[in-house]
Amino acid sequence: MMLSGCAAVSAADDLAGGGGGPRDAALVGEADLAGGVDAGAGTDASAPGVHTGVLVGGTGATPGLIGGVHFSSGGQSGFTDGSGTFSYEDGQPLTFSVGDVTMGPIAGAPLLSPFALAGSVSCAIDQPLEDLLVLLYSLDGDHDPATGTQLPSFAATGTPLPLASLTPASLAQVLATLAPGVTPIGERAALHLFITQVDGEEWAETGSDTFTGSAAAQRSQGVTTDGVSFLFSWRFGLERTSPGAAFSEQASNQLAIPLQFGAQGSDHIGDIDFWNGKIYAPVEDSAKYAMPMILLYDPADLSYTGQSYALPPALQTAGVPWVAVDGPRARVITAEWDPTLQLNLFDLNGLAVAGSLPLSRTLGRIQGAKVYGGMLYAQADDTQKTTWKINLETGTVITLFTLGRTDVEAEGLVLWQTGGALMHTLNTNAAKDSMELHHHKRTRDPLRLVLCP
């Protein structure tokens, strides 16, 4: 299932701000991307009112330069070169084409992608976009996504065929005509390649804090924020601390699981989340995993609010180790622990089952997750302690980084801009007598922030 609509701003964004504005968050300066024009006959990028742009969003190295696509704007025309460059004139419509398939007209810009060529409003996923991705990636000259997207220069031979008018049959015919014998890439595979390019980002660790003694015990399962304090969870309780190096305790609930649930076997709180004035805590009975639940708490004194929601045991057969709230989409997200084939979705109001989102590849052992910038960030206790980013519209899984350590157990994580870092990941040390909170900054923002302001 694919969720409709464009990526939304998450609770963490509302609390802590995004990772920079659309224009100052770019992975590469637009001027750098657009440097150097050799786009074909009729192009004079030095003429008054003529500008150079770059077509990105293909496969290969970031930002996925796309070559071999024909462009036309006023007196400018030609094919995008190996650097993806094209030219356009002020006040003149800009069109692109691959063979007889036409795209546009659209407004010229220094940076364009298949989103713009397909006329995708607000960078939403729609059929014209998916058709265009299949067309571009299937016609790649060496059929190797790792080397980028470079099409042969296909000239128009007949009646223009607008992208939006393509049917499965006509798309198949176009591909058979332009590249006889080539097996087209699947629609889902093409979409996952594109989303990986658009939403990929890079991170670097900036430091870590170590908790020992009782502090380690109370910060051993999960972490979130209300935008003012850190909120930690451990097997039986909750703690609120100040941000910064001190992590001074502000409140604590040593026995947060209500007695009525404890009497039935509930004995474990996982990675928690915060939304709209409430802490969402996943609670499980670790002996049988027969009672997966979400309980709500007051962040001020960490008291139980009396609100509890039972989750279907058939969906959470190994308990519920984490919960993530996607407030703008009015969803609560969990998943099976291992293997993780899909995300389980629940309505925020009442936590009724709302469907599932299949993942582009099987994951497992996820210990914590949060929604940020409309995407899900998840940390797993796999062999490398991997942190992933998951597009909540397509299910595309993107590997961000690994700790590369076998001497820790990965737990929860939170995204909150504080102390010079945006992401904070919680890990138990090998001896299980201390906890480490690692801090990470984003060193390259996703291309989406430039393409979808």
- Reduced 3-state DSSP string for 354-397: EEEEEEEEEECCEEEEEEECCEEEEEECCCCCEEEEEECCCCCE
pLDDT of 9 > 80? The answer is no
Tokens of 315: 């969906």
Question: Which pLDDT belongs to residue 8?
Answer: 32
**pTM of this prediction?**
0.89
Q: pLDDT tens for residues 176-234?
A: 999 999 999 999 999 999 999 999 999 999 999 999 999 999 999 999 999 999 999 99
Pairing of the two strands 386-391 and 375-380 = antiparallel
Q: What sign for the dihedral angle of Cα 263, 265, 266, 270?
A: positive
Distance (Å, whole) CA 23 – CA 388: 25
Question: Which pLDDT belongs to residue 175?
Answer: 97
Distance (Å, whole) CA 448 – CA 263: 49
**255 closest CA partner among 242, 269, 243:** 269
Banded pLDDT at 31 (limits 50, 70, 90):
very low
C-beta pairs of 104-107 under 8 Å, 24+ apart in sequence: none
Architecture of domain 202-451: 6 Propeller (2.120)
Ordered by start, the domain boundaries in the chain are: 28-199, 202-451
Banded pLDDT at 46 (limits 50, 70, 90):
low
**218 closest CA partner among 415, 434, 438:** 434
Distance (Å, whole) CA 227 – CA 299: 11
Distance (Å, whole) CA 325 – CA 308: 15
Distance (Å, whole) CA 304 – CA 297: 4
Question: Which pLDDT belongs to residue 44?
Answer: 53
- For 382-420, give one letter per residue: b (16+ CB within 10 A) or e: beebbbbbbbbbbbbbbebbebeeeebbbbbbbbbbeee
The arrangement of strands across the sheet holding 421-428 comes to: 202-212, 434-444, 421-428, 409-418
Question: Which pLDDT belongs to residue 19?
Answer: 32
Q: Are 95 and 107 in contact (CB under 8 A)?
A: no
State the residue for tokens 């040593």.
254
Q: 129 phi and psi, to 5 degrees?
A: -65, -45
